[in-house]
Amino acid sequence: MRSDEHLLLDLETGRAESAARQLYRGYQRELFGFACHRLGDRALAEEVVQDVFTRVWRNAASYDASRASVRTWIYGILRNAIVDAERRRSRRPPAARYGQDDALVGIDEPIERTLLRWQVADAMARLTAEHREVLHLGHLGGLTVAEIAETLGIPPGTVKSRTFFAMKNLRLALEELEVTP
């Protein structure tokens, strides 16, 4: 199997379709999970992930291995695509947004688990955008401190600090909501 860097180079050659397919298979689930959690809307998350792979394909020539790993570069594209999607969504009338969270509730999911998920989402919403972002990238996206720092363009120490305070504030918010693990 070719490395991600080689696959990006292949996007510019005659092997573009095969390279795109391999990159998609390698990252689609991970990116979809991250986007779905950030956006709270499966359909919008699917749309965002498709947009990310289109951007990866179009911008493969701009990838610079000395600046970031392929994974970090793709997460940077995902982050921008999510911001774009959130902007578009905020311009839609409230009636068009009604019921988006309901789409995430599984039919067979126990009510306690659904309630806990809502409470955690409420607690996460109480965090600053910066704190939510490092938690999403680290805990849901699986990025390392160094990868988060590259993606956000901040020092690794800042990532660690934000993560520490994000977890502290999340615990406090969960306590305020009387959520027990």
pLDDT, tens digit, 9 for 90 and up, residues 78-105: 999 999 998 888 776 554 444 444 444 4
CATH no. for residue 181?
1.10.10.10
Segment 133-157 mean pLDDT: 89
Mark whether 59 and 139 lie in a shared domain.
no
In this structure, the answer to whether residues 33 and 111 fall within a common structural domain is: no
Helices 111-125 + 156-176 axis angle, to 10: 130
Evaluate if residue 107 carries a pLDDT over 50: no
pLDDT in tens, 13-34: 656 667 777 888 888 898 998 8
Indicate if 53 and 126 belong to the same structural domain: no
Nearest to 86 by CA among 97, 76, 99: 97
Q: How many domains does the chain have?
A: 2
Cβ–Cβ under 8 Å, residues 33 and 140: yes
| pLDDT surpassing 60 at residue 110 | yes
Query: What pLDDT score does 159 carry?
Result: 94
Q: Are residues 97 and 116 in the same domain?
A: no
CATH of the domain at 20: 1.10.1740.10
Model pTM score: 0.56
58 and 114 share a domain?
no
Domain that holds residue 172: 106-181
Last residue within a domain, chosen from 54, 81, 104: 104
Q: Are residues 100 and 112 in the same domain?
A: no
Instruction: Kindly indicate the confidence band of residue 154, based on its pLDDT and cuts at 50, 70 and 90.
Output: very high
Cβ-proximal residues to 119 (8 Å cutoff; 6+ apart), any chain: 174, 177, 179
* Whether residue 121 sits in one domain with residue 64: no
pLDDT-derived band at 161 (thresholds 50, 70, 90) equals very high
Show which of 79, 104, 129 is a domain's final residue. 104
Grade residue 38 by pLDDT with cuts at 50, 70 and 90. Answer: confident
- Give the percent of the chain with pLDDT over 70: 76
Q: Are residues 96 and 120 in the same domain?
A: no
Are 44 and 127 members of one domain?
no
pLDDT, tens digit, 9 for 90 and up, residues 51-63: 998 888 888 888 8
DSSP string, 18-66: HHHHHHHHHHHHHHHHHHHHHHS-HHHHHHHHHHHHHHHHHHGGG--TT
Last residue of a domain, one of 83, 104, 125: 104
